[in-house]
Structure 1
Amino acid sequence: MTRPTRRRFLRDATLGGGALALPWLPAWAQPVSAGLATPLQTVSGTDIALTVAHRMMTIDGKPSHAIGINGTVPGPLIRLKQGQNVRLAVTNTLDEDTSIHWHGLLLPFQMDGVPGISFPGIPARTTFTYDFPVIQAGTYWYHSHSGLQEQMGHYGPIVIDPEGADPVQADREHVIVLSDHSPLHPHAIFRRLKLQGGYFNYQKQTFAGLLAGRDQPLKERLMWGGMRMDPTDVSDVTGATYSYLVNGHGPADNWTALFAPGERVRLRIVNASAMTNFNVRIPGLTLTVVQADGQNVKPVAVDELQIAVAETYDVLVGPATPQAYTLVAEAWDRSGMARATLAPRPGMVAPVPALRTRPLATMKDMGMGAMAGMSGVDHAAPAACPPEHAAMGHCTPAGDTGMAGMKHGMRDFANAPELPKTPVVQTVAPMPVDRTGEPPQGLADAGHRVLVYRDLVALDRNPDLRAPSRQLRIHLTGNMERYMWAFDGVKLNAVVAPIPFRQGERVRVTLVNDTMMAHPIHLHGHFFELVTGHGDHAPRKHTINVAPGGTATFDLTADAPGDWAFHCHLLYHMHAGMMQVVTVRPDGEAGAGA
C-alpha cells in the first residue's frame, strides 16, 4: 500500500477538475497544479540551493539545447516571505562563468549579481552564496547577467509574500513566465544581426501587399526608402527563429492552468524573454491590473496589455462559466505568439485567435510626434530653408518634398547638441514627445481597452515626496545598419566615467528615444516614480519601456549606495553597448553626483 503524503493528498484533491479548498492554507498554496502541462518547480526557505547546468528541453515536440536551473527551464519558482533573510547557494556546472541577478530586488549591491560591476561572477565548477534580507513583496524574477546565457533559458520567477495581509485577494494564482527561445546559439543570432540589422525580419512590405492594400502606398514607401528606414522594423529577432513560450512550453504544448468557475484567479505574469515584448489578452475575460513590477497599483480593468521585456504585471481574472479560455501573448511584431489555456479541468481547449496584422512605424515613431495628426501641413519650403529649422521638422530643404526631406532632420544634431558625432548616433528624433499616455506601438486601433502607463496609480503614497534637486537627460541612441546601441552615443566599452549620483538625492531623469525601436530600460537596485500626472501616488517601477521617437520621465531617489547596472533589457542591445554604470556615493566621496 502506498503511504499517503501531503503532496499526494493535494494532488488527489484536485484531480477530476474539483476545486476543493483547504482553508488552513493561504491562497497561493491552494491546490492548483493538477492537470497542468508541467507545474513549476518551487523552492523556498532561508537556505536554497540552485544548480546551473546544460540540459535539453522539448518545445512543441522538438528537442533544443538550453541552460537550466535545477534541471528546469524556466528555473524553479523561488517563493520567499517579506522580512526573512535568504541564502541562495548557486553552483555553476558550466565550463564558463555564470551569475544570477535578482531582478527588481532591493539588496546590497554586492549581492546584485552583475559580473564586473557588483561582483566578479561565479567561475566554472564553483559555488557562490548570495545572502541578503528580503525587504519587499511582489512578483519578480531572476536571470543570468553573464554573456547571453539568459537567452538559453537561464531565468526563473520570484514571488515574495507580504508580511501582513495582501491587499490583492484571490482564490488561487498561477505564475506565467513568458519567454522566447531559438535553436540558434545566441552568439550566432548576434553575428547575423551585426551582418544585417533586419536579418530576421521576414515581414517586409511586398508588391503583393501593395496591390492588396495591406501595406503602405507606393509614395510613402518611397519616402521611407529615401530615409533609408524600414517601417516594418519593429523587432530585431522574430518568429523567424523564435518559439514563444509559456513556462517553457510552446504554443502546441498548450500549457494549461486550472480554475473553478466563480473564482478570482491571480495571474503573476513575468516577461523573461530576451528580445520580445508581448501583447497579452484573454478573449472573453477582463484583465484587472493590480500590480506592476511588484508594486501594488489601484485596480484598472483592461482587455489587453503590453508587457515589455523584464516587466511584471499581476492581473485578476474572474471566469464565471465552466469553459476554457485562451491566454494569448502575441509578439509585438505579430510574428508569433505564446499560448496557454485557463480551464476548469485538464484537456479542455479554447479557440486560438489568428495573428493580427503586423504594425508599421509612423511619423511619431520617427520622433516627429509634435507633427503627428497635423492635417493640411504644407511641407514644401522655399529654397532658403535654414538647416536648423529643417532639423526641427519645420520646413524642408530645397529639392526635397514631403517626409522624404526629413532624412536630413533625422540625421542632424541641431536638436541634440550634447550628443557626440559617433557611428552610434544614426538618427536624432527632431520632435520627441512623451508617449506614456498612448497605447504601445501597434495597439492604437485594437478596438478595446489597452493599458497605458498613465493608467497606473500607486496603491500607497510614495515614500519620497521631495521635489527633484536636479534634472538629467539621457538619449537612447543606435545604428541599426551596424547594429550598435548606446546611451548618449557612447557604448559601454567606451564609457569614460559612470553616471554619478549623491546618496539620498532626488533626480528627475528624462529618457529620449532617438531610435525607431522601443527600449525597455532597467535600473538596478532602485525603484523610480513615473512622472505621469499622479502626484504622490505616481506608479513605482524598475523598468520603463520608452516608445520609439518618444520620451519618458521618472523621479529617482538615489538611496542605495554602490555601483549599479543601467541598461536596455533587450539582450542584444545591451550586449551591443546600450548599458552604463550608475554610482551612488555619499557626499564628499569620489564619484558622487553633481
Structure 2
Amino acid sequence: MTSSSRRGFLRDAGLGVGALAVPWLPAWAQPVSTGLAPALPTLTGPDITLTVDHLMATIDGRPTHAIGVNGTLPAPLLRLREGQRVRLAVTNRLAEETSIHWHGLLVPFQMDGVPGISFPGIAPGTTFTYEFPVVQAGTYWYHSHSGLQEQMGHYGPIVIDPAGADPIAADREHVIVLSDHSPLHPHAIFTKLKQQGGYFNYQKQTLAGLLAGRDQPARDRLAWGGMRMDPTDVSDVTGATYTYLVNGHGPKDDWTALFAPGERVRLRIVNAAAMTNFNLRIPGLPLTVVQADGQTVRPVTVDELQIAVAETYDLIVTPADRAYTLVAEAWDRSGMARATLTPRLGLRAAVPPLRRRPLATMRDMGMGEMAGMAGMHHGMRDFAAAPDVPRTPVVQTIAPMPTDRTGEPPQGLADVGHRVLVYRDLVAQEANPDPRAPSRQLRIHLTGNMERYMWAFDGVKLNAVTAPIAFREGERVRVTLVNDTMMAHPIHLHGHFFELVTGHGDHSPRKHTINVAPGGTATFDLTADAPGDWAFHCHMLYHMHAGMMQVVSVRPDPAAGAGA
C-alpha cells in the first residue's frame, strides 16, 4: 500500500495517520480524535528517527511530487517537553544534500542545521544525529535549509509542552500548518522569476480598471511605470501556480477538525509557506491571540490577523454549536487555504469569496504621504543620499521617508471593517529577561531589484559578503530594519529571540521573525547570548535564495576575557 493510499485508508477509518496514543499527553492533545480526518502523525520521546525522501502526495484529488519526512506531507508533528534532551537521527534518502533547521528553537549552533554555516549538511545516504536540550515551550516548526527543498514539502510542526502547568488553559487543540505547493519544480519557479519578476502576477492593472476608477489614479500609475514597477506585484509567486494547503490538504480536500460546543479550543498556527503571507480569519468567531512565535503574550482578541512566512501564532476560540470555515487567504488574494471546524461530521459552513486584491501605494515605497510623480522624483533624488547603502545592482530604490509601520494593519487589511492584529497589540506576558538598554545601534537596509530578481541586505548579496555581521557575546544591540523595497520581508534570526521596540518597555513582545512592511521600518533589541555563527535572512524562500541572507557571528568579548 502506498503512503498516500495508507493515509486515505486511515482517514476513511477516522483514525488519522500515526494513530498511536501518547501516555503523558492530555486527552485533548492525543493524535487520535474520533472523526478527526486526518490527524498529523506525532512523534515523541528522547529518541526520534526521521527519514527524508521523495514521495507522491495527493492534493485536491491530483497526484503531485513532493519531498517529505517519514513518508508524509507535512512532516510529522514533533511533540517534545521543556527540560528534556532529544536526539533526532535524520537519514537522507535523496540524491542531494539535505538538512533540518529547528526554527525558533534555542540550540547549540552546531545543531542549528544550516549547511555551510553551522554544519556540513547531510550527504545522500547518510544519517546525522541532532542532539540538544529542549529549553523552551511553545509552537515552532522545522524545515530543510538545503536548496529549495522547503518548497517541495520538507517542513513540519513542533509543539513543546511546558515543564510545569501550561499557562494557557484549553479543552482541545489543533495544529494547523499552512503552506503553498506548486506542481512546478522550485528551480523552474526561480528561473521564471529571474526572467521576469512579475511572471506569476495574473492580477495586473488594466486600462479599463484605471478609466473606471477601480485602480489607482493614473498619475500614480505613471509614477509606478517610471520606476518600472507594478503596484499589483504584492507577491512574487501567486495562486497562478500555488495551491494553498492546510496540513497538506488543498481547499477541495476540506481538512476538518472537531470540537465540542463551548470548548476553549487552542489553534496552533504555523506558516510553513515558501512565499505566502496568509490573512487568517474564521468568519463569525473571534480569535484571541495568546502566543506569538511560541512566546506567551497578554490575550488580545481580533477578527483577523496576518501570519507572515515562518511565524507562529497560538489562538483561543470558543465556538458555538455550528460549523465554521477557517480561511487563510493569500495576502495578494490570489487564492486561499481553508479548513472546517465543526461539532459534528457532515456539517459545513459557507466559504467566503476571495476579496479584492490589494494595491501597493506610494507609502509602500517609503514615500509617506507623497504621491504621484513628485513623490517618485523625490525618491530618486534621495537615492544617492543614503550613505549607509552602496549603489549596487541590488538597489533599485531607496525609501526616502520610511516609517515605523508596526502599528498599522498589514498591507491590504486597513479597510476590512473589523479588528485586525497589529504588532503593537502584542505585549509579553512576562517581563523581558534582559532589561538593559542597548549599548549600540545597527541599521540594516532590505534592498532588491525586481527586474533582475536580486535581493540583499544593504545592497550586498550573500555570495558577495566579505565579513559577517559581528556581535560581542552578551552585548545588547538595537537593530533597525529599513525596507527599501515594495514588498514585505519576514526577517528571521537564528539562535535568538529579540524584543520588538513597539512602546511596551520591559514587556516588549519577544519574537524570532518580524515581517517588515513595504517602505517601512521595524526595530528590535537583541541580546547576543548565543555564541556561534547564525543565519540571518528573509524567510521568503526565493528572496533568500537570490541573496537576502547574511551570517551573524557572536564571539566572546575580548575585553571581558582580558579582565577575567
TM-score range, shorter chain: over 0.9
Which of 364, 374, 380 pairs up with 1:402? 374
Q: Which residue of 2 aligns with 1:566?
A: 536
Instruction: List per-residue Cα deviations over 1:242-292 (Å, max 9, x = no partner).
Output: 000000000000000000001000000000000000000000000000000
Letter in 2 for 1:470: R
Q: How many Å apart are 1:23 and its aligned residue?
A: 12
Q: Which residue of 2 aligns with 1:508?
A: 478
Letter in 2 for 1:191: T
Tell me if 1:443 matches 2:442: no
Q: How many Å apart are 1:201 and its aligned residue?
A: 0.4
Q: Which residue of 2 aligns with 1:361?
A: 360
Letter in 2 for 1:565: A
Alignment of structure 1 residues 293-372 onto 2, 5 Å: 293-320=293-320, 322-369=321-368, 371=369
In structure 2, what is the Cα distance between the partners aligned to 1:219 and 1:150? Answer: 41
Q: How many Å apart are 1:214 and its aligned residue?
A: 2.1
Q: SS at the partner of 2:128?
A: strand
Q: How many Å apart are 1:345 and its aligned residue?
A: 1.6
Letter in 1 for 2:530: A
In structure 2, what is the Cα distance between the partners aligned to 1:297 and 1:26? Answer: 23
Q: How many Å apart are 1:368 and its aligned residue?
A: 1.3
Tell me if 1:472 matches 2:471: no
Change (3 A) 1:304 1:428: same
Q: Which residue of 2 aligns with 1:183?
A: 183
Alignment of structure 1 residues 61-140 onto 2, 5 Å: 61-140=61-140
In structure 2, what is the Cα distance between the partners aligned to 1:314 and 1:143? Answer: 20
Alignment of structure 1 residues 83-232 onto 2, 5 Å: 83-232=83-232
Bigger mean CA deviation after superposition, 467-476 or 213-222: 213-222
Tell me if 1:529 matches 2:499: yes
Q: SS at the partner of 1:253?
A: coil
Q: How many Å apart are 1:38 and its aligned residue?
A: 1.7
Q: Which residue of 1 aligns with 2:5?
A: none
Q: Which residue of 1 aligns with 2:403?
A: 433
Q: SS at the partner of 1:248?
A: coil
In structure 1, what is the Cα distance between the partners aligned to 2:211 and 2:27? Answer: 55
In structure 1, what is the Cα distance between the partners aligned to 2:344 and 2:549? Answer: 46
Change (3 A) 1:461 1:249: same
Instruction: List per-residue Cα deviations over 1:523-557 (Å, max 9, x = no partner).
Output: 00000000000011000000000000000000000
Q: How many Å apart are 1:207 and its aligned residue?
A: 2.3
Change (3 A) 1:48 1:25: closer
In structure 2, what is the Cα distance between the partners aligned to 1:141 and 1:316? Answer: 19
Aligned length: 545
- Say what the alpha-carbon RMSD is for the aligned residues: 2.1
In structure 1, what is the Cα distance between the partners aligned to 2:77 and 2:525? Answer: 31
Q: SS at the partner of 1:429?
A: coil
Extract unaligned runs of 5+ from structure 1.
1-10, 16-21, 380-400
In structure 2, what is the Cα distance between the partners aligned to 1:94 and 1:171? Answer: 41
TM-score, normalised via structure 1 length: 0.89
Identity of aligned residues (%): 82
Instruction: List per-residue Cα deviations over 1:196-228 (Å, max 9, x = no partner).
Output: 000000000012323443212333322221222
Tell me if 1:497 matches 2:460: no
Which of 417, 437, 452 pairs up with 1:482? 452
Q: Which residue of 2 aligns with 1:40?
A: 40
Instruction: List per-residue Cα deviations over 1:489-511 (Å, max 9, x = no partner).
Output: 00000000000000000000000
Residues 520, 546 of structure 1: 8 Å contact kept: yes
Residues 114, 535 of structure 2: 8 Å contact kept: yes
Q: Which residue of 1 aligns with 2:8?
A: none
Q: How many Å apart are 1:402 and its aligned residue?
A: 3.4
Letter in 1 for 2:45: G
Letter in 1 for 2:47: D
Q: How many Å apart are 1:303 and its aligned residue?
A: 0.2
Residues 32, 259 of structure 1: 8 Å contact kept: no
Residues 506, 556 of structure 1: 8 Å contact kept: yes
Tell me if 1:587 matches 2:557: yes
Change (3 A) 1:333 1:47: same
Instruction: List per-residue Cα deviations over 1:465-501 (Å, max 9, x = no partner).
Output: 0000000000000000000000000000000000000
Residues 367, 375 of structure 2: 8 Å contact kept: no
Bigger mean CA deviation after superposition, 332-341 or 222-231: 222-231
In structure 2, what is the Cα distance between the partners aligned to 1:402 and 1:120? Answer: 51
Q: SS at the partner of 1:102?
A: strand
Change (3 A) 1:357 1:503: same
Residues 226, 407 of structure 1: 8 Å contact kept: no
In structure 2, what is the Cα distance between the partners aligned to 1:191 and 1:231? Answer: 22
Q: SS at the partner of 1:220?
A: helix
Q: How many Å apart are 1:28 and its aligned residue?
A: 4.2
Tell me if 1:413 matches 2:384: yes
Q: Which residue of 2 aligns with 1:269?
A: 269
Q: How many Å apart are 1:12 and its aligned residue?
A: 13
Alignment of structure 1 residues 238-249 onto 2, 5 Å: 238-249=238-249
Residues 114, 145 of structure 2: 8 Å contact kept: yes
Bigger mean CA deviation after superposition, 526-535 or 200-209: 200-209
Residues 245, 251 of structure 1: 8 Å contact kept: yes
Instruction: List per-residue Cα deviations over 1:382-420 (Å, max 9, x = no partner).
Output: xxxxxxxxxxxxxxxxxxx5345345236x220x21211
Letter in 2 for 1:469: S
Which of 452, 474, 480 pairs up with 2:422? 452
Residues 14, 36 of structure 2: 8 Å contact kept: no
Q: How many Å apart are 1:364 and its aligned residue?
A: 1.3
Residues 32, 257 of structure 1: 8 Å contact kept: no
Extract unaligned runs of 5+ from structure 2.
1-10, 16-21
Residues 142, 157 of structure 2: 8 Å contact kept: yes
Q: How many Å apart are 1:24 and its aligned residue?
A: 9.1
Change (3 A) 1:407 1:502: closer
In structure 1, what is the Cα distance between the partners aligned to 2:354 and 2:179? Answer: 18
Residues 142, 157 of structure 1: 8 Å contact kept: yes
Q: How many Å apart are 1:588 and its aligned residue?
A: 2.0
Q: SS at the partner of 2:220?
A: helix
Letter in 1 for 2:185: H
TM-score, normalised via structure 2 length: 0.94
Residues 37, 254 of structure 1: 8 Å contact kept: no
Change (3 A) 1:31 1:114: closer
Change (3 A) 1:417 1:27: farther
Q: Which residue of 1 aligns with 2:259?
A: 259
In structure 2, what is the Cα distance between the partners aligned to 1:111 and 1:24? Answer: 27
In structure 2, what is the Cα distance between the partners aligned to 1:24 and 1:538? Answer: 33
In structure 2, what is the Cα distance between the partners aligned to 1:319 and 1:172? Answer: 12
Q: Which residue of 2 aligns with 1:386?
A: none
Letter in 1 for 2:253: D
Letter in 2 for 1:515: T
In structure 2, what is the Cα distance between the partners aligned to 1:105 and 1:453? Answer: 22
Q: SS at the partner of 1:516?
A: coil
Q: SS at the partner of 2:463?
A: helix
In structure 2, what is the Cα distance between the partners aligned to 1:40 and 1:113? Answer: 23
Q: How many Å apart are 1:31 and its aligned residue?
A: 7.1
Q: Which residue of 2 aligns with 1:49?
A: 49
